[in-house]
Each structure stands twice: as C-alpha cells, then as structure tokens.
Amino acid sequence: MIIRFAILPLFLALNLSMCKKQESVSPNSQQASAASPTPATVAAPVATPVPKITKPVVDQTAQVIIFCYHRLVDKVRYPGTEITPAAFEAQMKELKDRGITVISMQDLLAWKRGEKSIPPRSAIITFDDGWKSQYEVAWPIMKKYGYPFTMFIYTEGVRGGSLGGGEAITWEQLADMRDNGVDIEGHSATHQDLREGHTIMIANPGGKRTRTKLTGDQYEQWMQNEVVGSKQLLEQRLGIKVNCFAVPFGNYNEHVKEIARNSGYEAMFTVYGQPITFTSPMDSIGRYAIEANKPKVFDDAVKMIATSTGGGTAVAEVGAKDLATQPADGETVRTALPLIKANLSALGAIEPGSVQMRVSGLGVVPASFDPKSGTVSYQVTQKLHEKSCSVIISAKSEGKKVETHWTFGIEEGPAGGTSPIPTPKK
C-alpha cells in the first residue's frame, strides 16, 4: 500500500510534465512545417568510378579514458568518493602534460557514430551525483585548463529534492553550467540499484522512507520514473537534450540496459574503467572512478593509453581493392566462418607488430601477419551473426598509420540455393 502511495504521485508528475512538453512543442511548429514535404529534387544517381565512401573516415584507432569524480573537499573524510582540490588539479595537469586531450562527451558520441575524429589519446571528465563542490571547486579548475566536462545528475539529489541536502548542487547552478557549455546528463531519479528485486528506499508522502523490494509491474513503474521520468525532468527543467545515462553504482543487467536504450539514451556508463575504443559497446561504457585513497587507478588509466600506438599521426585511408582482400568488398559469402585476408604489401614497409584487424561483432581478432608476403589473415572461429561484416585493418608503415576497411555479406545456406530457406535451428 505504501508503495502504491509513492508511485501514484510519480505518475501524476509524469503526466503533468508530458502535458507541459506538448505545450512547448507549438512554438516550434514552424520548424515542423519547414521540414514538411519539399518536392523531392533528388539528383538521379550518377555512377562514378571513384571509390564510394559511405561514412566519413574517422580515426578508428583512437582511444578514450573516462574519469568519474564525486566531491572535492580539503579534508577527505570519505576517501571512496572524495578527493582534494589539489590532487584533482594535479591530475588535470597530468593529462595535459602527457598530451592526452580532454574532449567532450558529445564528441565521443559523434566519433562513435562515425561523424568526426577525435585525438588519438583522449580523456573525458565526468562528475557524478551533483555536489556543490563540483560547481564551486571543480568548475574553476576545469575552466583554468579549458576542459569540457559532463555532470551526471540524479534529479531527487538536486537541492530541494527529497535527497538533496545542503551540499547538493542547485538547479540555478546547473543552469549556469548549462549556459556555459557544460554537458548535463542523467543518473536516475533516486540513485538506487536499478535491478529488479533489489532492496530500495521508497519515499512516502510526508517524507517518511520505507525499505522495500519491488517486482513485476510495480518495479516497472518505478523504473519508468527512475530512467524516463528523471530524463524528462532534466530536459524540461534545463531545456536540454539528455542522451547519456550513468547507471547508479554501475549496477545493471540486460533489462536495465534495454529500458535505458528504449528511453532514448544513446550511451550508458558504468564504473568499470577501461580504455574505450571505436568498437566498444555503447551500453556499458566503463569509467575510472577516482578515489582519494586509490591514486593508482588514475595512474594506471593514464598508462593504458600512454602506451598505445597513437601519437598523433594522421591516418591514411587505403582502398580495400588495392589490398586484394578476401572476401572482396561487396562480395557475399556462403559461410558464417569465413577466412579474412588482405595483402598489405601495397602499403610499403609494414611494422609487423603494428598490424591490427577488427571484425564487426568480434572486435580485435588475433590475426596473423606474414611480413614476407605482406599478408594478414584470420580464420573466423566464432560464427558471425550479422548479414554484413565490416573489417578494419590498421597498421604502421614508415611511422605513418594506414588503415583500410571493407564490408562483405554473409548468406549462409546451401550454395546456389535460390529460395530463402527458413532454417529452424536450436
């Protein structure tokens, strides 16, 4: 019963905010009409002999490390979530000294979409939970270094919310940050374990809180507010678009990911730090949580990409045709276990240790490279599940990074079979 009490107001709030959203749509109607059917004057496709580029070429070898900070305090009492301003600033300086570029979260997403390149060794700074010290202490330091950053906010933790105490950030401070280009993203409504069946705290009208475990419909309703309601609140209160979600405590499962994905979040973040690559899945991006008593976490993260092959060299894109790839670009093969091969000898003297092959759905594969023939090859051992497969090969040739990528199709079934045969497997 108590639970239902709590959930009802949430739904009311949701409905209200939905109404508001509709109202605020009308001023934009001109935009909608501008986009309305314009006579399609699409030029007839002209065949050009130039190799087609379906996506802008971005540097797919870049790596990103993402840091997660909480409170900045002079006297650390909770080393798990606090750091001194001096230690924080030293870390920001170290990134600069090591030539690691701090980029914005939206640049990371644009890179992952294949829209723009990012520096080969990049870092992203994020702050969780919305603390006053992030506004008062961290922000000036970030300004000093000219670094962009992201704030992950749980809406009930903002000052005035049911969980927003005296150390919490205010909506006004968030608006000030927004006006100055700070990225503000979602971190749920009440910052609790989002997996079904875990003990959570429910706020009752009147402020009393109850521990409970939600399942079934009640859980789903609660989740709607945690994942969707909190996103709408941030978007409406601040007039922003929220497309990133930091999972509270980094605890998630497939269902949590699915709800977040369906709610319009483009990326989900955890706290299991690891360098992010072009092919890292977007629904579980690891961040390094920096704690005052574990300085090694920062050092290790920085080392992880300090040793990468990057180094700011431009990537030269080489057409797959020149490399006699197998399967060829655009070819369709009859097996989900193809042998993938390319001859890199057209690229000049290849540094043997630098050859890397990536296969969509598999990531980096242990391809073998024969320096004599210049051939790099990999026999797929794990069935490819998609109908098309992209291969990216990168290597270093005379100090320059070269790269090629191509795509082939997979149509498993009896060779020569013309009619699509349903294959009821399992």
The closest of 225, 221, 261, 224 to 244, measured between CA atoms, is 261
Of 107 and 129, which has the nearer Cβ to Zn ion? 129
Query: How far apart are alpha carbons 288 and 298 in whole angstroms?
Result: 7
Of 199 and 373, which has the nearer Cβ to Zn ion? 199
For the CB of residue 271, give the shortest distance to Zn ion in the complex, in Å: 9
Of 122 and 230, which has the nearer Cβ to Zn ion? 230
Q: Which span sits near Zn ion by CB under 5 A: 46-54, 128-136, 140-148, 256-264? A: 128-136
DSSP string, 301-341: HHHHHHTSS-SSPPEEE--GGGGT-BSPTT-EES-SS-EEE
| Residue 65 CB partners (closer than 8 Å, separation 6+) | 100, 122, 123, 124, 273, 275, 276, 288, 301, 302, 304, 305
Per-residue x/- marks for Zn ion, 87-126, CB under 5 A? ----------------------------------------
Which of 89, 107, 128, 226 forms a contact with Zn ion (CB under 5 A)?
128
Of 59 and 185, which has the nearer Cβ to Zn ion? 185
Q: Is 403 a residue that touches Zn ion (CB under 5 A)?
A: no
* Residue 231, SS3 per DSSP: helix
Is residue 203 within 8 A of residue 193, CB to CB? The reply is: no
Q: Is 82 a residue that touches Zn ion (CB under 5 A)?
A: no
Of 188 and 325, which has the nearer Cβ to Zn ion? 188
Residue type, 7: I
Pair of tokens at residue 117: 């390149």
Residue type, 192: Q
Of 129 and 226, which has the nearer Cβ to Zn ion? 129
Q: Measuring CA to CA, how many Å separate 11 from each of 8, 75, 412?
A: 5, 41, 48
For the CB of residue 194, give the shortest distance to Zn ion in the complex, in Å: 12
Of 244 and 384, which has the nearer Cβ to Zn ion? 244
Of 89 and 128, which has the nearer Cβ to Zn ion? 128
Position with the least CB separation from Zn ion: 128
For the CB of residue 201, give the shortest distance to Zn ion in the complex, in Å: 15
For the CB of residue 249, give the shortest distance to Zn ion in the complex, in Å: 7
Q: Which span sits near Zn ion by CB under 5 A: 127-135, 217-225, 255-263, 399-407? A: 127-135
Rg of the chain over CA atoms, in angstroms?
25
Of 59 and 226, which has the nearer Cβ to Zn ion? 226
Map the footprint of Zn ion across residues 212-231, applying CB under 5 A. none
Map the footprint of Zn ion across residues 336-395, applying CB under 5 A. none
For the CB of residue 290, give the shortest distance to Zn ion in the complex, in Å: 13
For the CB of residue 27, give the shortest distance to Zn ion in the complex, in Å: 35
For the CB of residue 52, give the shortest distance to Zn ion in the complex, in Å: 45
Q: Is 129 a residue that touches Zn ion (CB under 5 A)?
A: yes
| Residue 318 CB partners (closer than 8 Å, separation 6+) | 346, 347, 402, 403, 404
Cβ-count burial 244-254 (b if 16+ within 10 Å, e if not) = bbbbbebebee
Q: Is 156 a residue that touches Zn ion (CB under 5 A)?
A: no
Of 11 and 272, which has the nearer Cβ to Zn ion? 272
For the CB of residue 164, give the shortest distance to Zn ion in the complex, in Å: 13
Query: How far apart are alpha carbons 27 and 22 in whole angstroms?
Result: 10
Residues in contact with Zn ion, counted by CB under 5 A, come to a total of 2
Phi and psi at 362, nearest 5°, equal -120, -30
For the CB of residue 21, give the shortest distance to Zn ion in the complex, in Å: 26
DSSP string, 342-393: EEGGGG-SB-GGG-EEEETTTEEE--EEETTTTEEEEE--S---SSEEEEEE
Q: Measuring CA to CA, how many Å separate 149 from each of 80, 133, 366?
A: 21, 15, 36
Q: At what angle do helices 171-179 and 230-238 cross, to 10 degrees?
A: 60
For the CB of residue 1, give the shortest distance to Zn ion in the complex, in Å: 30
The residues binding Zn ion (CB under 5 A) are 128-129
